[in-house]
Structure 1
Amino acid sequence: MTNDTNSTPTLETTPIIATRGDRWKEMATRQETLLIAVYVIMVLAFSLINPRYFSTASFGNILQDFAPVMLMAIGQTFVIITGGIDLSVGAVLGLSGVSAALAIRTTTESGMSPALSITIGIVAALLVGATVGVVNGLLITRVKLAPFIATLATMGICMGTTLVVTGGVQVAGAPKEVVLLGNTRYLEVFTVPLFVVLGVLIIAWLALSRTRFGRHTYAIGSNQFAARVAGINVDRHLMKVYVIGGVLAAIAGLFVYFRLGSGSPASGRGGELQAIAAAVIGGISLMGGVGRVTGTALGALITASVLSGLILIGIEPNAQQIVVGALIALAVAVQGLSRANSRT
């Protein structure tokens, strides 16, 4: 009896110890954990090269850069999970910011109050983003263009429209309330746009992980034919996803305008590359059906931090796009190796 009772705890506790070990191993190899480790190493490296990088002012600037990238990346996350791509988000950012700037300047000059002028500017920008999202959705679901081609076309249209309406020059004349709204800091690092981005991030996380909308998004990206057979209205869902992407890009354009106090036709140039980089670095598979928005958030933070660090160590702006492109290639290569290892 004594031997039996002594042996029982050993048999019961051994699986528990193994399970805990497996959990620690799983946590250590999760995408988010690896990204946090990469971020910490990157911060240390840039701080050693330039100590100013590790400062409150620098972190505040990084977060301001992070806000528009995060918004575009969240929209890109929804799109890529469905198996698509949206190349128009950078151009939508620029056109939306310029549209808001023109609306606010015109209404301010006509004697409207700053609050009403800013409201009209916000509505104008959101309408631009929603319209482009609808056009993208129709081209993909009705005309049956590939997402790459459809959004490439709208990217060109938006960029051309921005240059035409601005004449290639910045749209100034914003009331001081615009700059205050975009640049007033709380606790030295947080701004109103950043609070909005964090709210959007929470909503996106809940939508993807806790709702039927999220389950349908993953299902379409995993197997569109099976999703149709299961009764999902794929075309309608894709319309919603591309509209979400367009609206979030428009909000990003608003935030860039609020920060600068003017609408620049160059705003958003290369934004689609940064958004895709943030999503892919965060573990969103370009094959569709895989990824978490929390990974995208870390990917956006890494992307913004890398660009800020390159500026502080004296890398010219044109070379920064090379680094972003290299990050995308590296992230896709890592995803490919992970899939290959999972099959073996």
Structure 2
Amino acid sequence: MRQDLVLLVIFIAMIGVFSAINPRFFSLPAAANILQDFSPVVLMAIGQTFVIASKGIDLSVGSVLGLSGVVMALVIRACNEAGYDPSLTIGLGLLAAMAVGLAVGLVNGLMITYFRLVPFIATLATFGAAAGLSLVATGGVQIAGGPQAVIMLGNKAYGGAFTVPVIAVFVVIAVSWVFLAKSRFGRWTYAIGSNAFAARGSGIDVQRHLIKVYMLSGLLASLAGAFVYFRLGSGSPLSGRGGELSAIAAAVIGGVSLHGGSGKLGGTVLGALITTAVLSGLIMVGVEPNWQQIVVAALIAFAVGIQSVRGPSAGGTS
């Protein structure tokens, strides 16, 4: 049976179990909260899917989320204090956040392709640097001071569950699926992950493509930072802590092979939905929040174990 179908069955069963224990889990407010938690995770996980499919890893996404949100908050506060129009203020803040993500992704890509650092070490370095810059820029405190339009944009729900940023996330999911499953960019990503030497021999500029992949991951992590900023109305240097673990968990649970060359974006989306729903459900049934990281780690271990049993090519392609 296809892994994405298995994940869908697991998700439905999980809803039934949590709803039986606490009926509030199967409610519109609970669904709205899960969507809010799901959105930044799935954005990072999509980037992670491209990276892992190319046989890499990106440990910097959580720190990029935090740094992007902080930079966005600082730019928006400065523009708001200068009396700029709220729409222009938000637009400039969003562009600043995206620039941060692209810059970190570029650094990651250059270190991996031209300085020959393994992805784990390269992205671990930017993970620490981005986290440190966030603390330096803020002094360890949240940055607020944006216009009221920020709060309205991030929290006004349509249909009881869908805010404008959540709707935007679903648009990003759709566009990313097309890129991975139907475009040359996706085919080249899988080819490099399967066999970089053969991909180079077939005419693919492997170094240039990998730089683009890591820049894409950084960009999506920065959009996750923007989402969190809209949700909270402020930027916090700690908002992305543990985000890399959640993103990797979603991708691996979704069937993206750590051996590279395979994986489906639909599985990643379901993986992100399962991880966020599990954590929300555990809280609603009375499990302490401190257990969240342990649960995510256990889910990763379980998914990797399943991959090991099924073999490197178990994930398939989109």
TM-score bin, normalised by smaller chain: over 0.9
Paired-residue identity, %: 61
Aligned to 2:165: 193
1:60-100 alpha-carbon deviations (Å, 9 max, x no partner): 11011111111000000000000000000000000000100
Aligned to 1:226: 198
Contact 2:50 2:213 in 1 (8 A): yes
Query: How far apart are residue 194 of structure 1 and its match?
Result: 1.4
1:132-172 alpha-carbon deviations (Å, 9 max, x no partner): 00000000001000000000000000000000110001111
Q: What is the SS of the residue equivalent to 1:194?
A: helix
1:2-57 alpha-carbon deviations (Å, 9 max, x no partner): xxxxxxxxxxxxxxxxxxxxxxxxxxx11011001110111111112211111011
User: Given residue 90 of structure 1, which amino acid in structure 2 is its aligned partner?
Assistant: G
Aligned to 1:276: 248
Aligned to 1:147: 119
User: Given residue 257 of structure 1, which amino acid in structure 2 is its aligned partner?
Assistant: Y
Query: How far apart are residue 318 of structure 1 and its match?
Result: 2.2
Aligned to 2:60: 88
Aligned to 1:170: 142
User: Given residue 263 of structure 2, which amino acid in structure 1 is its aligned partner?
Assistant: G
Match of 2:14 among 42, 47, 65: 42
Aligned to 1:249: 221
Give the TM-score taking structure 2 as reference length.
0.97
**Aligned counterparts, 1:45-194, within 5 A:** 45-194=17-166
Q: CA RMSD in A?
A: 1.2
Change (3 A) 1:32 1:341: closer
Q: Distance in 2 between matches of 1:136 and 1:40?
A: 38
1:196-218 alpha-carbon deviations (Å, 9 max, x no partner): 11111111111111111111010
Contact 2:257 2:312 in 1 (8 A): no
User: Given residue 279 of structure 1, which amino acid in structure 2 is its aligned partner?
Assistant: A
User: Given residue 274 of structure 1, which amino acid in structure 2 is its aligned partner?
Assistant: S
Contact 2:259 2:312 in 1 (8 A): no
Runs of 4+ in 1 over 6 A off after TM superposition: none
Verify: 1:328 aligned to 2:275, yes or no.
Answer: no
Runs (5+) with no aligned partner, structure 2: none
Aligned to 2:274: 302
Runs (5+) with no aligned partner, structure 1: 1-28
Aligned to 2:181: 209
Give the TM-score taking structure 1 as reference length.
0.90
How many pairs are equivalent? 314
